[in-house]
Structure 1
Amino acid sequence: MGELLLKAGIWLAATPTPSPTSGPSDDAVTPGVVGFAVTFLIAVAAVLLILDMTRRIRRVRYRAEIAEKLDAENGAQQDDADGDSRP
């Protein structure tokens, strides 16, 4: 068994590794103008969605504040009406 491992080690050490070849040209691996345009459009869409979401959240918060004020005013009016009817 040890002899087999020794022969396998020698065989692997003797096997030459391939020399590195030149990679693809820089023009073949860059996204180019189309990639830039798509990335730019996605970024613009994300910014517009974030702005719209911010406006909607702000609108909901303002509506909730107004509803609380109206509820408080209605409660105060009802308290006044109940207080006036009791002697």
Structure 2
Amino acid sequence: MMPLLLEELPYDPNQVTPGWIGFTATALVAIVIMALMWDFNRRVRRISDRAEAKERIEAELAEQRAAEAPDAPAGHRADDADGRADEAPPRTP
């Protein structure tokens, strides 16, 4: 068999190419995807920054509590994060 030449094709190659409409649609999809990626990265960065800030604040508060607390007598438990002393479970004989 002989390969088909361009003149022998049953369709017009100019009518089956995407043309400027296909290019525009592809460009718009690419722009939308890049905008979504930019927004996603911004939101993830904001979440991680908030988590780091929360950890720093908790560390500073723990340091302040440790500096303000008087020396506890031996056998006395320190307050936990919500300010209440830990209670030992009741003993059963």
With the shorter chain as reference, the TM-score category is 0.5 to 0.7
Count of residue pairs the alignment pairs up: 70
Which has more radius of gyration?
Answer: 1
Q: 1:42 aligns to what?
A: 29
Residues 24-79 of structure 1: CA deviation (Å, up to 9, x unaligned): 22112101111111100000000111111111111111111100000101111122
Q: Percent identity?
A: 33
Equivalence map 1:50-61=2 (5 Å): 50-61=37-48
Q: Distance between the aligned counterparts of 1:30 and 1:63, measured in 2?
A: 50
Question: Out of 58, 61, 70, which is 1:71 matched to?
Answer: 58
Runs of 4+ in 1 over 4 A off after TM superposition: none
Higher RCO, 1 or 2 (CA under 8 Å, sep at least 6)?
2
TM-score (norm 1): 0.67
C-alpha RMSD over aligned residues = 2.0
Gaps of 5+ in 1: 1-16
